[in-house]
Amino acid sequence: MRMSNMTVAVAGFAWLLSNSVLAQSWILPQGTVVKDEGPRTYRFTIDHTATDTTGRVVQRQRVSGDYTRGLAGGEAAWSRVTVAESNGPAEISGPGQKREFMEGFRYRTGPAGLGETMKPDFFKSFPPTAVFERNLVWDTGMIEMFGQDQFARLTLNTPYRVLSRQDVNMPGMGTFHNRDVQLTWLGRSHRNGQDCAVIE
């Protein structure tokens, strides 16, 4: 009985000590900014699932592409963009069809560039039906904006409300309503040393 109490006390002390040490590193360093020191390419894959009013899956779509940022002039470019679809509840199994009109599609990144993507003629080279391909560009810009512009406000595992109740006019597609966008910093990955975050 005494040994058990001692173990609990030691474990509790270690927990308090580790929390006090970790608490000092829970805030990102001030002045942290994204540095584009050359091109970096990321593979984006976004899954869209449509359901009926009972929650039954009626369609799945997967949009994938290589996104390269850090190009000259603060630009980014897309390549190898594909869209795969599956009707009904079945999982997507094929590689998808390539979207040639997005091969080499290039534009400026950052807040000014994101504003450009909302202009009616920005996607003039896209077919009118290329809704999910437009979303790929918008989603990437929003992910970067939410993450890069909020460094000074993030603390570990604490959701930060970026915006709420905001309507966004999407040219040729209607209005999108942001109900409650929150960003949570999850810390640094032990695998690759990168900071991880969740956007909800």
Q: What does the pLDDT look like over 86-130, one tens digit per residue?
A: 998 888 888 899 999 999 999 998 777 778 888 888 999 999 899
Q: What is the mean pLDDT of residues 176-194?
A: 57
Q: Rounded distance, CA 13 to CA 24, Å? A: 17
Q: Which of 124, 145, 166 is the last residue of a domain?
A: 145
Residues 109, 126, single domain; the answer is yes
pLDDT at 193 over 60: no
Query: Which tens digits make up the pLDDT trace of 114-171?
Result: 788 888 889 999 998 998 899 899 888 877 877 676 666 767 677 766 666 656 666 6
Residue 123, number of CB atoms within 10 A of its CB: 19
Q: What is the mean pLDDT of residues 57-86?
A: 93
Residues 158, 101, single domain; the answer is no
> What is the pairing mode between strands 75-87 and 106-108?
antiparallel
What is the number of domains present in the chain? 2
Residues 139, 166, single domain; the answer is no
CB 1 within 8 A of CB 123: no
Q: What is the pLDDT of residue 56?
A: 93
Q: What is the mean pLDDT of residues 15-25?
A: 43
Q: What is the mean pLDDT of residues 14-25?
A: 43
Q: Is the model more confident about 153 or about 53? A: 53
Residues 104, 45, single domain; the answer is yes
**What single string gives the DSSP state of each residue in 18-39?**
HHHHHHTTSBPPTT------S-
Residues 111, 160, single domain; the answer is no
Picking from 40, 5, 41, 30, the residue whose alpha carbon sits closest to that of residue 155 is: 30
Q: Quote the domain boundaries for residue 179.
A: 150-200
Angle at CA of residue 81, ends 66 and 44, nearest 5°:
45
Residues 123, 66, single domain; the answer is yes
Side chain identity, residue 88 = G
Q: What is the pLDDT of residue 181?
A: 66
The pLDDT confidence band at residue 44, using thresholds 50, 70 and 90, is confident
Q: Which of 103, 121, 145 is the last residue of a domain?
A: 145
The pLDDT confidence band at residue 11, using thresholds 50, 70 and 90, is very low
Residues 74, 163, single domain; the answer is no
